[in-house]
């Protein structure tokens, strides 16, 4: 069975949903060309603005977050928009569309005034882009100039600005990139829908302070003795992004392009299941290179095949019906943990987790074999979350009464 990975987003047909996000990997035509050669479906070029917007970068601009022996659990940056003059961006668009007509070339824009936004849309549309993405969401550098997440955090401003862009666009769809730094991201998504824009991208980076140098007391990245808050990306923000995408997909009918920590084909499948119709990647590309597209596409294809699906479109939104309010969660099925004695390696980590972090429901039997006391186990699944052995602890129906308080 041949699996069709092509997916339409805002009326634009992508050969596959894997798209480079507006970021350093898309700042040069040559880089994007290499990505297309490698098999990426589309690219959102690094954000551009009008020539009056000065782009004053500082270095170093990035810092990684380690988790134990693993590097880059997350990446913070204080990068700004592209340094290229818009003339260069237009030239890049023309060249890329000529050389790679089957791939999607989108432009990311950021403006201050109505005129800025509308000029940017018209120029890039004329240059031949397939889609316009508007950054209402950059958390650093731009907000203090009234741009970036300043817009995305205010639904009224979001609606008004999106309307300006949509008015100016004659041919191409307009997508608004949202920030997670807002109390209710569905309010922003509804504002985009009211504006008439075609879709949303979620999420931009999460405003953060990645760490502090314990010797100098200066936070990272250290720019000549000072630092500033930056934008967090990478695997650590994936659960936040996944939640935002699902919330938006449940609340508005316009399509969502997902971005935020997509690092594996499994992540990709999850975002599609949560309602995304397009997937944008940056940090994983910076870490592993454009070549990861092969694993993304193969992994997703084989997964779809194993599910008996012939098109990636069949996945979109399939998990949404299973997300309900907390008060609507079923309360009649009591579960308990069960430890597979054959698989258990006697590390007794689950025992400790339940002892100091749970309900003291795990007992140590002979030879340190952990056993669950089903009278004490509430089925919280903390033990399963920490067990180092795959598929060793399962949650199974409680052998006794289903209701709490009756045991």
Binding site for another protein (CB under 8 A): 68-70, 345-349, 351-352, 355, 364, 368, 388-389
Query: Considering just the CA atoms, what is the radius of gyration of the chain in Å?
Result: 24
The DSSP code for 111 is -
Nearer to another protein, 13 or 346 (CB): 346
31 vs 364, which CB is nearer to another protein? 364
Dist. CA 21–CA 316, nearest whole Å? 20
Distance, in Å, from the CA atom of 118 to the CA atom of 256, rounded to the nearest integer, reads 23
Catalytic site residue from 138, 282, 377, 387: 138
Q: How far is the CB of 70 from another protein (least distance, A)?
A: 8
Residue found under tokens 């634009």: 12
Beta carbon nearer to another protein, 39 or 64: 64
Of residues 43, 4, 18, 38, the one with CA closest to residue 276: 18
Q: Smallest distance from the beta carbon of 337 to another protein, in angstroms?
A: 16
User: What distance in Å separates the CA atoms of residue 278 and residue 289, rounded to the nearest whole number?
Assistant: 20
Q: From the CB of 62, what's the least distance to another protein, in Å?
A: 20
117 or 351, CB closer to another protein? 351
DSSP-derived pairing of the beta strands 131-135 and 174-177:
parallel
CA distance 215 to 220: 12
Q: Which of 88/369 has CB closer to another protein?
A: 369
Tell me the sheet residues that pair with 77. 62, 231
CA 27, CA 283: separation in Å to the nearest integer?
14
Give least dist CB 71 to another protein, A: 10
Which has the closest alpha carbon to 111: 166, 48, 157?
48
Q: In angstroms, give the least distance from the CB of 386 to another protein.
A: 10
Annotated catalytic, 138? Answer: yes
The single residue listed with the structure tokens 């314990």 is 214
Catalytically annotated residues: 138
């Amino acid at each position: 069975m041949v699996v069709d990975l092509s997916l339409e987003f805002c009326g634009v047909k992508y050969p596959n949903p894997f798209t480079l996000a507006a970021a350093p990997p898309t700042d040069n035509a040559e880089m994007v060309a290499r990505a297309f050669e490698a098999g990426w479906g589309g690219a959102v070029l690094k954000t551009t603005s009008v020539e009056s917007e000065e782009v004053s970068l500082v270095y170093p601009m990035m810092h990684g977050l380690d988790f134990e022996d693993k590097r880059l659990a997350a990446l913070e940056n204080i990068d700004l928009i592209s340094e290229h003059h818009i003339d260069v961006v237009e030239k890049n668009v023309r060249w890329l569309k000529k050389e790679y007509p089957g791939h999607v070339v989108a432009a990311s824009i950021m403006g201050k005034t109505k005129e800025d936004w509308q000029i940017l849309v018209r120029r890039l549309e004329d240059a031949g882009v397939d889609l316009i993405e508007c950054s209402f969401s950059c958390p650093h550098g731009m907000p203090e100039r009234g741009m970036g997440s300043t817009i995305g955090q205010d639904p009224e401003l979001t609606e008004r600005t999106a309307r300006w862009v949509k008015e100016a666009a004659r041919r191409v769809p307009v997508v608004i990139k949202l920030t997670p730094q807002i109390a209710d991201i569905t309010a922003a998504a509804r504002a985009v829908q009211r504006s008439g824009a075609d879709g949303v991208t979620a999420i931009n980076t999460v405003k953060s302070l990645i760490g502090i140098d314990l010797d100098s007391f200066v936070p990272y990245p250290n720019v000549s003795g000072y630092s500033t808050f930056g934008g967090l990306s990478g695997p650590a923000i994936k659960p936040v992004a996944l939640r935002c995408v699902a919330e938006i997909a449940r609340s508005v009918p316009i399509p969502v392009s997902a971005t935020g920590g997509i690092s594996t084909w499994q992540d990709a499948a999850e975002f599609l299941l949560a309602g995304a119709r397009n997937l944008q990647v940056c940090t994983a590309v910076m870490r592993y290179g454009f070549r990861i597209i092969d694993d993304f596409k193969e992994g997703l294809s084989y997964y779809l095949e194993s599910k008996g699906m012939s098109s990636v479109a069949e996945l979109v939104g399939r998990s949404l019906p299973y997300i309900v309010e907390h008060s609507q969660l079923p309360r009649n099925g009591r579960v308990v943990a069960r430890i597979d004695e054959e698989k258990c390696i006697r590390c007794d980590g689950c025992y400790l987790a339940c002892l100091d972090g749970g309900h003291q429901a795990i007992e140590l039997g002979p030879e340190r074999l952990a056993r669950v006391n089903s009278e004490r186990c509430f089925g919280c699944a903390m033990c399963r979350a920490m067990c180092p052995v795959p598929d060793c602890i399962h949650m199974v129906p409680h052998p006794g009464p289903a209701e709490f308080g009756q045991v």
